[in-house]
């Protein structure tokens, strides 16, 4: 399956940070069974292309697939990022579908192999409250207890590692500074602590400045963020380098927002002006038809009618000249 554009801000933050094998390795090596982790060559961890999630879940989850040598054999580590807010007890069923797709893709690209690679499935949940669910696929089956021994060989089964940010204290998140900063941010978003000291820890930020820029954009994109509290947080930063970055980015974000607002206002003004047959609507229509730069109308509301009429006459004269020459 081909990877598609990432639109959700949670996904973008997650994939940008953990799509870097160094960040992924620093976090995952302590999250999978110790015997496997010790045997994996983490220095040779590679990100594999593609996404395997169901289309209906692309708004609530994303995934990353890594490969690494394991005692001379290929090992695959599948990291599924869940940021849905509603508990879903069927995660392991989806995992099975995704793992089958990974194996099927592997078979197509390696037609001569005789064995499938090991897949280590890991689920990272951006939840506000802990989920209570079994970590084994076989627990989903309903079979009479009297025939359990006979039924077990008939049931496909695997276990997966479930990492819940709701259960992971901020100071227990490990990895590279970039990975720590992103996971703290994703955890804080769920519990409305994006302006908390855990996210704004300068001892972490100073070693992950490029990631901090991405985190700031993520924070500023949240509509519920108190802009006054954000400004106070920036003013309290001790590091001049970090403060300068935060202030510059906040200003850029503000300018981008103003430009978008102006553009939307102009488009709305054009539509309304044309519908009402106003002078502004006529001027804009001629500008677009003549392929001229669209004027700024931010102060035209205060302009006298005679000025608008003069602008319109000049544009109309240009129109007449062009068509007489053609």
**What are the 10-residue block averages of pLDDT along the chain, 326 residues in total?**
54 93 96 94 96 87 95 94 85 95 96 94 94 91 77 87 95 96 96 94 96 92 81 91 90 64 54 51 52 48 52 59 53
* Same domain (yes/no): 291, 234: no
Q: What integer pLDDT is reported at residue 28 of this predicted model?
A: 96
Task: Answer yes or no: is 184 within a domain.
Answer: no
Task: Answer yes or no: is 180 within a domain.
Answer: no
* Same domain (yes/no): 256, 135: no
* Same domain (yes/no): 242, 226: yes
Task: Answer yes or no: is 228 within a domain.
Answer: yes
* Same domain (yes/no): 35, 158: yes
Of 256, 272, 288, which residue constitutes the final position of a domain?
Answer: 272
Q: What integer pLDDT is reported at residue 56 of this predicted model?
A: 84
* Same domain (yes/no): 294, 208: no
* Same domain (yes/no): 42, 105: yes
CA-to-CA dists, residue 284 to 48, 288, 312, angstroms: 50, 6, 9
Boundaries of domain holding 281:
277-325
Any residues with CB less than 8 A from the CB of 324 and at least 6 apart, and which?
none
Task: Answer yes or no: is 189 within a domain.
Answer: no
Alpha carbon dihedral 14, 20, 23, 29, in 10-degree steps, equals 100
The answer to whether residues 212 and 177 touch, using CB atoms and an 8 Å cutoff, is no
Number of domains the chain is built from? 3
* Same domain (yes/no): 37, 123: yes
Q: What integer pLDDT is reported at residue 196 of this predicted model?
A: 95
* Same domain (yes/no): 70, 116: yes
Task: Answer yes or no: is 266 within a domain.
Answer: yes
The answer to whether residues 230 and 219 touch, using CB atoms and an 8 Å cutoff, is yes
For residue 298, the SS3 value is coil
pTM score > 0.85 for this model? no
Q: What integer pLDDT is reported at residue 188 of this predicted model?
A: 95
* Same domain (yes/no): 22, 131: yes
Task: Answer yes or no: is 107 within a domain.
Answer: yes
Task: Answer yes or no: is 285 within a domain.
Answer: yes
Q: What integer pLDDT is reported at residue 164 of this predicted model?
A: 95
* Same domain (yes/no): 80, 135: yes
Distance, in Å, from the CA atom of 306 to the CA atom of 79, rounded to the nearest integer, reads 66
Q: What integer pLDDT is reported at residue 297 of this predicted model?
A: 46
* Same domain (yes/no): 22, 154: yes
Distance, in Å, from the CA atom of 318 to the CA atom of 312, rounded to the nearest integer, reads 10
Of 230, 254, 272, which residue constitutes the final position of a domain?
Answer: 272
* Same domain (yes/no): 153, 63: yes
């Amino acid at each position: 399956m081909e990877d598609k554009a990432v639109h959700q801000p949670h996904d973008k933050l997650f994939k940008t940070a953990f799509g870097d094998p160094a960040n992924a390795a620093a976090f995952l090596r302590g999250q999978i069974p110790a015997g496997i982790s010790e045997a994996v060559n983490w220095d040779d961890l590679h990100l594999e292309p593609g996404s395997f999630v169901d289309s209906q879940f692309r708004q609530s989850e994303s995934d990353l697939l890594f490969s690494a040598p394991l005692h001379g054999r290929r090992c695959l580590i599948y990291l599924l990022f869940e940021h849905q807010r509603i508990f879903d007890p069927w995660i392991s069923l989806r995992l099975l579908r995704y793992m089958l797709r990974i194996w099927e893709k592997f078979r197509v690209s390696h037609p001569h192999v005789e064995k499938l690679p090991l897949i280590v499935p890991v689920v990272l949940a951006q939840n506000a409250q802990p989920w209570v669910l079994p970590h084994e696929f076989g627990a989903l089956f309903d079979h009479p207890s009297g025939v359990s021994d006979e039924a077990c060989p008939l049931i496909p089964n695997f276990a997966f590692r479930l990492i819940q940010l709701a259960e992971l204290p901020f100071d227990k998140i490990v990895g590279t500074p970039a990975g720590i900063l992103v996971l703290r941010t994703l955890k804080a978003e769920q519990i409305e602590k994006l302006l908390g000291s855990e996210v704004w820890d300068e001892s972490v930020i100073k070693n992950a400045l490029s990631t901090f820029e991405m985190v700031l954009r993520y924070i500023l994109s949240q509509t519920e963020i108190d802009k006054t509290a954000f400004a106070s947080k920036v003013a309290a930063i001790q590091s001049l380098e970090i403060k300068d970055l935060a202030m510059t980015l906040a200003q850029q974000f503000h300018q981008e927002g103003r430009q978008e607002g102006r553009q939307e206002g102009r488009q709305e003004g054009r539509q309304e002006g044309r519908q009402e047959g106003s002078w502004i609507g006529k001027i804009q229509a001629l500008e677009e038809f003549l392929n001229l730069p669209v004027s700024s109308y931010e102060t035209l509301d205060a302009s006298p009618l005679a000025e608008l009429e003069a602008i319109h006459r000049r544009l109309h004269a240009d129109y007449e000249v062009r068509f007489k020459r053609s």
